Structure 1
Amino acid sequence: MIDCLFRRRGVDGEFSLFDSTDGTRSNWDPQIQHGSPPLALLTRAIEELAAGTGLRVGRLSLDILGAIPVAPVRVNARVDRPGARISMMVAEMAVDRPDGGRRTVARVTAWLLATSDTHDAAVDRYPPMVEGTGAGAAHAWEGAPGYLETVSWRRQQTAPGAAAEAWISPLVPLVDSEPTTALQRLAMVVDSANGIGAALDPQQFVFMNTDTVVHLHRLPDGEDFGLRARGSIGPDGIGVTTAEIFDRAGFIGTCAQTLFVQRRA
């Protein structure tokens, strides 16, 4: 039974050490990780580094730098651009090589900004997304083991030609039984926008994202997140998935993903 995505192993110098559980396994290949668990774990490192600064995350940008194995990982975080009002923080995930070296497999770059009271000026582009009747199969990977076992995925009925919509929620903690913040819970599911907005049949094409960039004008709240997503495929094997992100209170931001598209043999 999968009861978390990562297990804490301790510290080695500047690195926090974690074991990756079966809950991180990708629906594309069970030997590599889905993008959401690394994004969430690196977001956790950013939040820990930012604690007490008075800054909050406005953007998270995950770059997947190579196949991320389901294996022990090392995580560290640093401030790349210090500032009292605007700061850039970076968290990286690395794995040990058989030869004793290390390979960096993922990086999250975050812009953090000082907060102020703008309640009287707050405005959303979209009305809240309301969960309705589910629409048959949740996704095209129904029954795939690993990460998809750790989330509740409720696809919504939408009009023909409209962007796809789904409500998705993590079912397990991020690290052991440790508390998981709402931002970390969002990071645990938002990489799934590519699957929700899929424009291609995964039996005929591979369309893996190389990144996930999230912009948040409001911090998320709760455990349930709605994604309204649409994939666009170019004529030369490159695509993009874009999505609007909601929590139960309304619209909170957007995400975009670059896709590597390849026809299956």
Structure 2
Amino acid sequence: MTEAVFGVEGDVFFPGPHAVGPWGADMMNGRIVGGVLAHCLEDRHGDPDLLPARLTVDLLRPLGMKQFTVRTSLVREGRRIKIADAEIVQDGTVGARASLVFLRRAPQPPGHVWRPDDPMRAPLPPAEPENNGHALFLWPHGHGEVDPDNRMAVWEGGARNSAWIRERIPLVQGAPLTPFVRAALAGDVTSPLTGWGSAGLQYINADYTLALTRLPEGEDIGLQAVSHLSADGVATGTVTVYDGNGPIGTCTIVALANTAAAFYTPRPTDSDLTA
């Protein structure tokens, strides 16, 4: 599969069919927006001695399925920390922005620090699933089938609290899909994983923050729900992020009630949904 989510000519990005989001055929997917911001920050400001440790993506307004540019700036560069910002500009307006903190790697300090004993509950996906031309494969825990079409129905029911994600095509034409960008693309999936309820997904992301202690190894990124809290139409959700060797970080989203319409409403015949 050689087709990429975005074509690029110079500094201009062109979204292809795989960039379409679930909120409308003329809107880009939020996870794709975060992914291209992460790509540009790593590509322009990355350093092999520094870990891209904290990415925050602000989804300021819907981005259309048309060309855009990404501008980046170096905010701070010190001996142990570097900070860079990025913005997507479409039709002369900033539609999304991101901030990335790079930290210098060092030997682990001595001593023992508490950590939760909460292994990933979803089993690893098959090594070679059927390749049918889709950009993303999902394995929500509790579903025995591979879902190559990314159907929203796979999130229904109480089994939706963990999933594995595998990207199948490049994000940007001519650029490798790096471990950091794989993790960044998975971050937005925190929203359906933590925010799904018995009436469907009623919250829309405002932002997400991905924090990593190391880069993932391999193609598969796992997410396991840790918490969902909501009041007065505002929600937060947190997941632990995994690769095949164990936990690598966390991701937290902040969302608001989408009062216009639900992202997805369960089928009337379903009776086993949990809030």
TM-score w.r.t. length of structure 2: 0.78
Q: Which residue of 1 aligns with 2:139?
A: 154
**C-alpha distance in 1 between matches for 2:48 and 2:226:** 36
Q: Which residue of 2 aligns with 1:197?
A: 194
**C-alpha distance in 2 between matches for 1:226 and 1:215:** 14
Shift of 1:128: 4.4
Of 91, 100, 104 in structure 1, the residue corresponding to residue 94 of structure 2 is: 104
- Give the partner amino acid of 1:105: G
Deviations 1:2-22 (A, max 9, x none): 932111111xxxxx2110112
Shift of 1:202: 6.0
Deviations 1:41-79 (A, max 9, x none): 111111122334732211000001111111101012111
Question: Cα gap change, 1:213/1:192 in structure 2, threshold over 3 Å: closer, same or farther?
Answer: same
Question: Cα gap change, 1:53/1:187 in structure 2, threshold over 3 Å: closer, same or farther?
Answer: closer
Q: Which residue of 1 aligns with 2:120?
A: 129
**TM-align CA RMSD:** 2.8
* Alignment partner of 1:116 is 2:101: no
**After the TM superposition, which segments of 4 or more aligned residues of structure 1 sit over 6 Å from their partners?**
119-123, 160-163
The SS at the match of 1:194 is helix
Of 177, 182, 185 in structure 1, the residue corresponding to residue 182 of structure 2 is: 185
Q: Which residue of 1 aligns with 2:238?
A: 242
Shift of 1:133: 8.7
**Counterparts of 1:136-175 in structure 2 under 5 Å?**
149-157=134-142, 164-175=161-172
- Give the partner amino acid of 2:102: L
Q: Do 2:81 and 2:102's aligned partners in 1 also have CA atoms closer than 8 Å? A: yes
* Alignment partner of 1:6 is 2:3: no
Q: Do 1:5 and 1:21's aligned partners in 2 also have CA atoms closer than 8 Å? A: yes
**C-alpha distance in 1 between matches for 2:109 and 2:180:** 20
**Counterparts of 1:34-113 in structure 2 under 5 Å?**
34-52=29-47, 54-96=49-91, 102-113=92-103
Deviations 1:158-213 (A, max 9, x none): 9x97870111111111112431101111212221111122332565x631101010
Q: How many residues align?
A: 240
Q: Do 2:50 and 2:103's aligned partners in 1 also have CA atoms closer than 8 Å? A: yes
Q: Do 1:153 and 1:169's aligned partners in 2 also have CA atoms closer than 8 Å? A: yes
Shift of 1:117: 2.0
Q: Do 2:195 and 2:202's aligned partners in 1 also have CA atoms closer than 8 Å? A: no
Question: Cα gap change, 1:5/1:83 in structure 2, threshold over 3 Å: closer, same or farther?
Answer: same
* Alignment partner of 1:252 is 2:242: no
TM-score w.r.t. length of structure 1: 0.80
Question: Cα gap change, 1:104/1:2 in structure 2, threshold over 3 Å: closer, same or farther?
Answer: farther
Q: Which residue of 2 aligns with 1:219?
A: 215
Deviations 1:119-142 (A, max 9, x none): 8769764454264399xxxxxxxx
Q: Which residue of 1 aligns with 2:148?
A: none
